[in-house]
Amino acid sequence: MAAPSARVLVYGGKGALGRVCVQFFKSKNWWVGSIDLICNEDAHANCIVEPNESWVEQEKQVNQKVEEMLAGEKVDAVLCVAGGWAGGNAVSKDFIKNADLMWKQSVWTSALAAQLAGKHLKDGGVLALTGAQAALKGTSGMIGYGLAKAAVHQLVQSLAATDGGLPDKALVAAILPVTLDTPMNRKWMKDADFSTWTPLEFVAELFYNWTQAVDRPDNGSLIQLITKDCNTECVKA
């Protein structure tokens, strides 16, 4: 078996988008490490996160395991595709509960991915995070979700700024999908117009292209994924 051409960490590597990213990069002869609550058997190595631990405890676990996984090697990309969705407004019974979940799924993971990039990303490498196009404005029916995704957008801006902590010439950017074409979304939105949903394979290839300096956006970019008639366009926010 040929030596891997490059290395990538996929935070959320067992989710719908994460699994596609793991498979795609592996098909390109990359070494792939997955970080998630569950093992991804397709990855070369796995870091299993304990969901009931605090953010600080997760930081310790993830950093220790990733250091063991990499054994001193640097990575070419860190992709954070962890996340989830929950609704609710200020009077909803589960408003705070859902907001807390959204914060853990999107902000905790993105911040930890950023920390890993600061430590292990090569100069000129790629850190990709996952925001949401909806969070560019108010999200009254899903306040916790919008709150968390807007925080991810802000994180991108901070990391891209001088002294953000990333390696020299690294790219940090976020995708801002409208709706990703996942099995779970199809299950819960059976009557939706799937031609406006962004295919997961498109996202995986987009990330890969960024690592190859193909259509690589400016540092700090928030890239909206606008899909119409099954064709996806990348639009800078």
Mind spelling out the 3-state secondary structure of 12-55?
Answer: CCCCHHHHHHHHHHHHCCEEEEEEECCCCCCCCEEEECCCCCCH
Residues 6+ apart with CB under 8 A from 142: 85, 86, 87, 88, 134
Within 13 Å, how many C-alpha atoms sit on residue 88's CB side?
18
Strand order across the beta sheet in which 75-80 lies:
45-48, 30-36, 6-11, 75-80, 121-130, 171-177, 222-228, 231-236
Active site residue 145: yes
Catalytic residue among 145, 197, 207, 210: 145
Q: Distance between CA atoms of 159 and 151, rounded to whole angstroms?
A: 12
Query: One-letter amino acid identity for 227?
Result: T
- Residues marked active site are found at 145
